[in-house]
Every structure is written in C-alpha cells, then in structure tokens.
Amino acid sequence: MISSDFYFRDKIPVAILGATGCIGQKIVQLLERHPWFQIVALCASERSAGKAYGEAVHWLMPTPLPPAIAQMTVQACEPNISCSLVFSALDASVAGEIEWRFAEAGFLVVSNSRNHRLNPQVPLVIGEVNADHLELAKKQPFAKGKIITNPNCSVIGLTLALKPLFDRFGLEAVHAVTLQAVSGAGYPGVGSLDILDNVIPFISGEEEKIEKEPLKILGKLSEQGIQEIPLKISAQCNRVAVTNGHLACLSVKLKQKASRQELIHAWNDFSGEPQQLQLPSAPFQPLHFFEEPTYPQPLLHRSLDKEMAVSIGQLRSCPLLDYKFTLLSHNTVRGAAGAALLNAELLVKKGWVFW
C-alpha cells in the first residue's frame, strides 16, 4: 500500500460532472484543499460548456470561489478528459446515460446520482458500513471502468445510526419520519412562499429510497451479489424551512432485547474502515450520542466533525416498537459530496485508482 504522504507531493487528477449544480459546487469546495485530489476538469451541460466556470456557475457556497477554479473552462460531459477518476453530481435526468458512457470509456465514476444505486452490479456504499461491497463493482460489464454510488442523503445518516444496532441486536422493523432541509431540493429548490411558515409533507420519490436502499447497504456480499436483508422500513418525509441538516425521528424493533445503555455503547463504540485508514474526509467519530433532551438540532450539530458525523439523541422506550430516537446529519456533506469523497478515498487506499 502506498503511503498517504505520497499524495501530498503528487495529487490525483479528478473531474467533476455536473460541476455547476449545488452538489457539484460542494465537491469543488471540498476538493479545493484536498490532500490527495486535484481538479483538472469541470464538466456541465452544453449551455455552460466553453464558458469560464466563474461565469457559468451561480456560486452558492459560503466560501469564495477560488480564482484558479473560476478561470477554468467548463467542458462538456464527454469521456475525453485527462484523468481516470470522476465525481458525478449530475441531475438524475441525464446521469444514467452519461455515467455509463464514462465507465465504458474506462473511467472510475464515483456518483452521487440515484440512477444506478439499485443496479445489482453497482455497489451502494457508506464507507463505515459496507466498504466490502466495493468488490461488487468487479462484476460490472466494463473492461476497465466502474461505477460506485453513495446513497440518498437521508439514507446515509439513517443507515449509519442503524448499522451498530443491526450488528449487535438485529433489526425487525423501522419507522422513520424525516424533516429534510431545503438544500436537499437543489437550487432554486422550494419557493419561499411554499416553505416559509410551512412544512411540506411530501418529497417525490424520497420514501421509496429510504425504504429500499438500506436493505441493500446492510445486505451481505456473496458470489451471487448482494443478499438484501429482510427488514421492514416505513418512511414519511417532510420538507422543512431549514437550510442544511436532515433530521429523522426513528422507532426501531430489535430482534434481541437490549438496554438503553447497550444501544448508547453500540453507537459510541462504532467506527469503520475510514477511521482505521484515517482517510482525509472521515470523521474522527462517526456517531455522537447526546443526553441533552433538546439535542440534536440542525443549527448546533450539522457541522460536527468535518460535517461528516451523525448526531443522535432523545433515546427512549417506544410503546409500539422497542426504542425511539432522533438523528441528524448534514445532507449536502455527509449525505452527498462528502460521502462521495470518502468513497473515492477508500478506492485510492484499496488500489483502484490509477493515473
């Protein structure tokens, strides 16, 4: 294994597909000072191609657009760029075909888009939960290229909280109610007259993702592919007037009886390969449990531990199932751009990235 010090001297060239969108911008922001990766191409739609990135993008990040990035010329999303690793933040309306073409051309595609998540040959990866599922990509029909996906933004936080409970006690059923930030809808997102002083109890396609994706993520990798777990999940999703940070209220039924303190220990003791490998984007502690009765809160906890940690609180007995609790994760970092970077860092450490 190559020492990570190597990448401080010789960074890996990467491209971003969908670089002008909200998640594309967040990837740009996170990559600006990344110790391993260097942006060599910014790709977007035909209407942006040929323009300087600073002209094509409506920059929404809280930090200034770096001048060197602003001067880069936006390219079309064609697989003729000088790198082998690409991050995809493409809109779902075009991501499926474009990502496939890049993989066919030999590129390693790390995607935040939903199109290939449930493809039986495509790994759906949360670094701390199922890094071993990356091996599934070797079954893909490409000579050299691969597609790796990260899950839905709510699913990542939810599954990180469920993983230690699933491993130690087993899970039979989960009921989840999400309160999701407006940034999850992209830009310009939800109209102000719709969301101010309001809650919208519908997010298209979101309930199905929460009910299906964890079954694959928590499944077991075998020669035949991923054997999904037989877990019943019921989800209800709401859009709320919060900028960043998805909150979820969960009730869980365990297969084995466990005390409240045993659940807390399971969360506090949890870590995975990203922590063992000390990956640049990995939180020091993936799960943080709070005893304070009013925690977690988006305003206070969404930026915890590189914006990559999940905050958990309000653990108490549930009169219908076994326990209920509340969790919070940063939807555009832990739930999207940061999750993609973490997967790419895993791929580097596992020797999948060449340049």
In angstroms, rounded to a whole number, what is the distance separating the alpha carbons of residues 115 and 279?
A: 27
* Residue 196 identity (one-letter amino acid): L
Query: Does residue 15 contact residue 74 with C-beta atoms inside 8 Å?
Result: no
**Which is the catalytic residue, given 34, 116, 175, 246?**
246
Sign of CA dihedral 213, 216, 219, 221: negative
Write the DSSP string, 121-172.
TS-B--HHHHGGGGGGGGGSS-SS-EEEE---HHHHHHHHHHHHHHHHH-EE
CB atoms within 10 A of CB 268: 14
| 133 catalytic residue (yes or no) | no
Question: Quick check: bond before 164 cis, omega within 30?
Answer: no
| 153 catalytic residue (yes or no) | yes
In angstroms, rounded to a whole number, what is the distance separating the alpha carbons of residues 186 and 43?
A: 18
**Which is the catalytic residue, given 153, 175, 301, 330?**
153
- Angle (nearest 5°) at CA 300 between 298 and 306: 90
Q: Could you tell me how many helices (H) and strands (E) the chain has, helices first? A: 14, 14
Query: Does residue 295 contact residue 315 with C-beta atoms inside 8 Å?
Result: no
Query: Does residue 52 contact residue 41 with C-beta atoms inside 8 Å?
Result: no
In angstroms, rounded to a whole number, what is the distance separating the alpha carbons of residues 260 and 125?
A: 29
In angstroms, rounded to a whole number, what is the distance separating the alpha carbons of residues 315 and 258?
A: 13
* Residue 34 identity (one-letter amino acid): H
Listed in sequence order, the residues at least 6 apart from 204 whose beta carbon sits closer than 8 Å to its beta carbon are none
As annotated, the active-site residues are 153, 246
